[in-house]
């Protein structure tokens, strides 16, 4: 076995120039991901005054101004949490029999907190998703834009219809711009390392197969059985001895 491993190590060392082939799988993966659209921007908007009231969740009478919700990330995060409903986000009807798995629910919640935002542009309140999941992003934008619209309508009702008429405009999905391609992102590090490991394994396996198909002797025992002569010792690999050393070093008798 040791003899075989030494032969395999010698073969790997002799063909080290082909070691660059190990880099082919990870480079192919990185190149493919760099050319694949990976970040989508989806948004929905409706016309609304900047001083519009927003009905607070969890209280029958509470109203808060819209401006702090737009300018404060913590308040927007609180709004997302207070109105989170995974089944309604995915558009499932009331009484839907199959519950969404905890893993999927956590994924939806994480995408909402991480990639969803709101802003006001030209008197339009825009709910924006920017992330890698186009389908889920579309659900999130539609749900939270509609929820905001409903909460603002409710806010006007709580203030009294005589103060200001509720907004008439309804949420509408904006045109989808082309997806963004990222040359690199941190979530590709682990797959890249796995592809590098796969290339290394393939490199070693190919040399093991070549060594297995080699018809030369693989062990001292095989030599003794074929020649019917005792093995008294072996000579070292002279090519592996550094220049200037005594060639007899490592010689086994």
Per residue of the chain (253 residues), what is the pLDDT tens digit?
676 777 778 778 877 778 888 899 999 988 988 888 789 999 999 998 878 899 998 888 889 999 999 999 999 999 999 999 999 999 887 766 677 899 999 999 999 999 999 999 888 999 999 998 999 999 999 999 999 999 999 998 888 755 555 666 889 989 888 888 878 878 889 999 999 999 999 888 888 888 778 777 666 677 777 777 777 776 665 565 555 555 444 444 3
Tell me if 192 is assigned to some domain: yes
Are 59 and 155 in contact by the 8 Å Cβ rule? The answer is: no
Residue-level pLDDT at 73: 93
Are 158 and 53 in contact by the 8 Å Cβ rule? The answer is: yes
25 and 49 inside one domain: no
Residue-level pLDDT at 252: 42
Structural domain harbouring 214:
2-33+187-236
Please give the DSSP secondary-structure letter assigned to residue 16: G
124 and 145 inside one domain: yes
Residue-level pLDDT at 15: 77
Please state the separation of Cα 247 from the chain's center in Å: 55
175 and 194 inside one domain: no
Q: Can you give the length of the chain in residues?
A: 253
Q: How far apart are CA 142 and CA 149, in angstroms?
A: 11
Residue 134: HSE in the Cβ half-sphere, 13 Å Cα cutoff = 9
Are 139 and 91 in contact by the 8 Å Cβ rule? The answer is: yes
27 and 116 inside one domain: no
Are 224 and 231 in contact by the 8 Å Cβ rule? The answer is: yes
Backbone phi and psi for residue 99, each to the nearest 5 degrees, phi listed first: -75, 155
Please give the DSSP secondary-structure letter assigned to residue 39: B
Residue-level pLDDT at 235: 67
Residue-level pLDDT at 247: 47
58 and 167 inside one domain: yes
> CA Rg, the chain, in Å?
34
């Amino acid at each position: 076995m040791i003899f075989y491993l030494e032969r395999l190590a010698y073969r790997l060392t002799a063909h080290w120039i082909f070691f660059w082939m190990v880099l082919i799988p990870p480079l192919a993966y990185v190149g493919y991901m760099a050319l694949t659209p990976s970040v989508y921007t989806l948004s929905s908007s409706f016309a609304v005054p900047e001083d519009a009231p927003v009905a607070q969740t969890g209280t029958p009478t509470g109203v808060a101004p819209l401006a702090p919700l737009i300018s404060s990330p913590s308040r927007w995060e609180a709004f997302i949490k207070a109105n989170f409903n995974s089944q309604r986000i995915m558009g499932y009807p009331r009484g839907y029999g199959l519950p969404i798995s905890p893993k999927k629910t956590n994924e939806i919640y994480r995408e909402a907190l991480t990639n969803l935002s709101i802003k006001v542009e030209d008197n339009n309140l825009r709910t924006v998703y920017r992330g890698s999941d186009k389908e889920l992003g579309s659900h999130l934008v539609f749900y939270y834009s509609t929820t905001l619209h409903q909460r603002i309508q409710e806010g006007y009702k709580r203030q009294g219809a005589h103060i200001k008429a509720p907004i008439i405009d309804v949420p509408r999905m904006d045109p989808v711009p082309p997806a963004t391609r990222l040359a690199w992102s941190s979530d590709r590090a682990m797959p890249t390392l796995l592809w590098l490991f796969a290339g290394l394994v393939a490199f070693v396996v190919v040399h093991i197969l070549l060594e297995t198909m080699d018809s030369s002797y693989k062990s001292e025992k095989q030599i003794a059985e074929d020649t019917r002569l005792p093995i008294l010792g072996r000579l070292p690999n002279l090519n592996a001895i550094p220049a200037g050393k005594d060639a007899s070093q490592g010689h086994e008798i």
